[in-house]
Each structure stands twice: as C-alpha cells, then as structure tokens.
Amino acid sequence: MHLEQELAHARDAGARVEALAETVRKRAVTVFLVGALGMSALVSLFVWASDLGKFEDEAMLAVSTVMLLLVLPGVAGMSLAAGRRLRHGAGAAMSMLIGSLALTLPALLPLAGISLFMIVWTFALGATLVGRFGFGQANAAHELPVSNS
C-alpha cells in the first residue's frame, strides 16, 4: 500500500513538471515577462536583506530559500521542454537530463554563461508563477464542462 502511494505521488510530480513544460512552450512571452518582474522583485529583496545589520544572515538565507523554492520547479519544466525539443520521442527522464545538460553546460562559459544563466532562471521563475507550480493545468482539466451530446 505504501509503494502505491509513493508511485501516485511520483506520477503527480511528473504531471506537474509536464504542466510547467507546456506552460513554457505555449506561453513563452508571458512566462518571460512575469519572470522578469519576479526576478526584479527577488533582486530587490536581496538588496533589502543585505542592509539589515545583525539580521542580515538570516534574511539572506530566507530570501535565498524562497528564490530556490520558486525557481527550481520551473528549471525542471524548462529542462523537460528543452530536452523534448532536442530529442524527440525520448522519455520524460531522458528528456529532462538532456535538457538540463543543454541549459547548464553553456552557462559555464565565461561571459555568455552569466547571461544565459539569468535568462534561464528568469524563464524558470516565470514558468513557476504562470504555471502555478504545475498545479494550475491539472486542476483546470478537472473543471472542464462535460458535453451531453
């Protein structure tokens, strides 16, 4: 019984990553604009947290944790979307691996890498916010009206 619950949770997590990948694919401009607004808000929080004196360390840890919690689901969705574009027909795990390598390795370049890193994280933040952490599309599918034809 416990194994069945874990498999159900894994399927749900996979569906949320799929939903984020679809959000990136279908609404790229909106995702980037929302990500840019969100990223500027997070940078403002970093600047504010760095000026808090004796509470600076705790505030920076809190802001960094919030940033990671907001960005990492979007990075997973973007990796899946990029992997699917690079390798058609591959499974979800292989596509995510290929996509994460394709997004991470160029970020190691000296000058262009930091720009690419910021663009990827901006898209990832936007995907998480626009896609509502992947929960939005799963809920919307259950709310569709059923036709009586």
Q: What is the pLDDT of residues 72-126, one digit of tens each?
A: 888 888 888 888 888 888 888 888 899 989 988 888 888 888 888 888 889 888 8
User: Can you tell me the distance from the alpha carbon of 99 to that of 148, in angstroms, rounded to the nearest whole number?
Assistant: 42
Query: By the 8 A CB rule, do 126 and 74 touch?
Result: yes
User: Can you tell me the distance from the alpha carbon of 24 to that of 16, in angstroms, rounded to the nearest whole number?
Assistant: 13
When pLDDT is cut at 50, 70 and 90, the band that residue 145 belongs to is very low
Best CA proximity match to 125, nearest among 60, 56, 59, 70? 70
- Model pLDDT for residues 10-62, shown as the tens digit of each residue: 666 677 777 777 877 788 888 899 999 999 998 898 888 888 888 888 888 99
Query: By the 8 A CB rule, do 60 and 47 touch?
Result: no
pLDDT at 11: 67
pLDDT at 16: 75
* Residue carrying the six token digits 């690419």: 116
